[in-house]
Structures are given as C-alpha cells and as structure tokens.
Amino acid sequence: MRICILLGLMIAMLTLSFIVGNTLVVAGPLEDARAAYNHGDYATVLRLTRPLAEQGNAEAQEALGGMYLAGNGVAQDSKEAVKWYRLAAAQGYRTASYNLGLMYEQGKGVARNSVLAYMWVDIAVAQGFVFAASPRDSISKTLTKEQIAKAKAAAKYCQAENYKHCD
C-alpha cells in the first residue's frame, strides 16, 4: 500500500515536472515581443506582433493598438490604434475593451462619446479587469442616469451578441 502511494506520488511529480519544464522552455513570438518591448526594441516588437495581429490574435492586436497610440515603432495614429483595439475587444480581450473605452472618453481616433466610453469600460470590468472600475465610475460622473442605463444596456447587448454590433 505504501509503495503504491509512493509510486503514485513519483509519477505525479514526474508528470508535473514535465509539464512545467515544457512550459518554461517554450517561448513564442509574443513572449519574445514582450522582451523586445522591455528593451525598447520596437522594430522587433512590430515584426513579431503584426503578423499575429493580422491573423486574429487578440493579444497581438491589443499590443499593436498600444504601439500606434504611443507611436512606439510606428507613426502615432489614434485611428489605427482604435482599429486594433476594436478587433481585440471584439474577441472579448478585456484590456482592449478598457483601452477602447478610454479612446472614446478622450476622443482619440473616434468622436468623443462618454456613453460608449462607459459601455466599453464597463465591459472590461465585467470581463474581470478590476482596475477599470475606478475609471468607469469617473466616467459615470459625466453622465445622466438615463445615459448610464443606456450604456449598461448597450454593454449587455454587446456581450450577448459576442461583441458584434457594439458601436
């Protein structure tokens, strides 16, 4: 009995070490892009993320949106940033939803619209991005109760429609 338990534990540990070991050894383009970004190598970030973004990878789309917003490795272009944030948000990528909301609140790349700003930031909160709650509450101070109700209804509809027809 004791030998069976020890054998079972050894097999479990060996399996776990194999899984963890493989996870740590394998690095993909996004991990390489993060490392390049941390070193300020935006040309490499762009080279690694653009193909992934064009293939529909939401994390790469959100990163590319951030590059266009800041002008890191590309010409600063708020409309292009909105384009990439919107694509990632349409896949339920919460930081893209949050960033898209901020773009609407600030009128960067889109017409300023506090109702849509609240909607997108509220979606990010619903997706688990807890840091978006405070900015959402700040946006709410600029809205009427009716506008907040409209934004909340739009957020529910957007999520129910799988992030299609949200604007």
- Chain segment 102-124, per-residue pLDDT in tens: 999 999 999 999 999 999 999 99
Average pLDDT, the chain: 87
pTM of the model: 0.82
Domain presence at residue 57: yes
122-141 average pLDDT score: 96
What is the tally of structural domains in the chain? 1
Domain carrying residue 70: 29-160
52-62 average pLDDT score: 97
- Chain segment 26-51, per-residue pLDDT in tens: 469 899 999 999 999 999 999 999 99
Q: How many CB atoms lie within 10 A of CB 18?
A: 10
Domain presence at residue 60: yes
Domain presence at residue 14: no
